[in-house]
Amino acid sequence: MIGTLSVVFLLGRASAQTSRDSTKSTAVGGFFTGGNASVSRIPVVPEINCGVAKVSFPPGVRTIWHSHAGGQIIVVVSGTAWYQEKGKPKQVIKQGESVVCPPNVMHWHGATPDGPMTHMVVTPNMDKGGATTGPAVTEKEYKSL
């Protein structure tokens, strides 16, 4: 069930610099479960070697299981996020908090069932490769403690 997919919003690169210059929001089909999230890629210079994106999740929406060859930093800017690494307990990440996912660790993140959530994601070390996707996060996995 695990394949390699270049997830567009994690790999975007361009020339401008601020989130207000970001490309228009797009839904990324197949990468989310429970609905779709809205993804705004932040333009960056290639030398930064990172993908940067703002992702807004409606209540109940989460990514599928996936990993990043270069890891990922998630910063919650509104609402409350759920985050889980494979084999570990689910974590609650509140507004203003961050979580750092090491390279090649399968994980998922998304909104809680109770409200929307927006996070910024920084996906560094893009020269190491892209994202590897796994199965959807089941309702049982999503709602487990």
Residue with Cβ nearer a copy of itself (76 or 136):
76
- Short-list 121, 112, 6, CA closest to 59: 112
3-state secondary structure at position 39: strand
Q: How far is the CB of 141 from a copy of itself (least distance, A)?
A: 19
Residues lying near a copy of itself in the complex (CB under 8 A):
17-20, 42-45, 47-50, 52, 54, 70-71, 73, 75, 77-78, 91, 93, 95-103, 118, 120, 122, 124-125
Q: How far is the CB of 30 from a copy of itself (least distance, A)?
A: 26
Q: How far is the CB of 103 from a copy of itself (least distance, A)?
A: 5
CA 122 – CA 42 distance, rounded (Å): 10
Q: Provide the phi-psi class of 70: left if phi over 0, else alpha when psi is between -120 and 50, else beta.
A: alpha
Measured in whole angstroms, the distance separating CA 95 from the mean position of its chain's CA atoms is 15
Residue with Cβ nearer a copy of itself (28 or 120):
120
